[in-house]
Amino acid sequence: MVFSIDSIITAVGMTPHVPIMVIAVLITVTIMLIAADPLANFIHANPTIVMLALAFLLMIGTVLIADGFGFHVPRGYIYAGMAFSAFVEGLNMAARRARQAQP
């Protein structure tokens, strides 16, 4: 949570208007506090989501490193791969739910 707040303060800190920064930070912290429990429950119920998120982070990191070395990877390929992975994980979650619902 500290990393997220830090990122918001940095992004919003580019404005010279202090009230905008304060409002943005308060809204962000409120949203994070409201979303924390439902998100934690979802992750606890679907542990494979953690691996999917880690794979996304690894892929994004690899693309950023490749960009740093001058190798451009079209973003469409990245987004298509992430969308396909999320779709397959959604199918897996639905299949798991259907198996658990069977008597």
Task: Quick: pLDDT tens for 50-69.
Answer: 999 999 999 999 999 999 99
Model-level pTM greater than 0.75?
no
- The answer to whether 49 touches 42, Cβ cutoff 8 Å, is yes
Report pLDDT for 95: 93
> Do residue 83 and residue 60 come from a single domain?
yes
> Do residue 39 and residue 12 come from a single domain?
yes
Quote the CA–CA distance of 25 and 37 in Å, as a whole number. 20
Quote the CA–CA distance of 64 and 78 in Å, as a whole number. 11
Instruction: Kindly report each contact of residues 28-36 with a partner whose C-beta sits within 8 Å and lies 24 or more positions away, as own/partner.
Output: 28/4, 29/5, 32/1, 32/4, 32/5, 36/1
> Do residue 97 and residue 51 come from a single domain?
yes
> Do residue 61 and residue 33 come from a single domain?
no
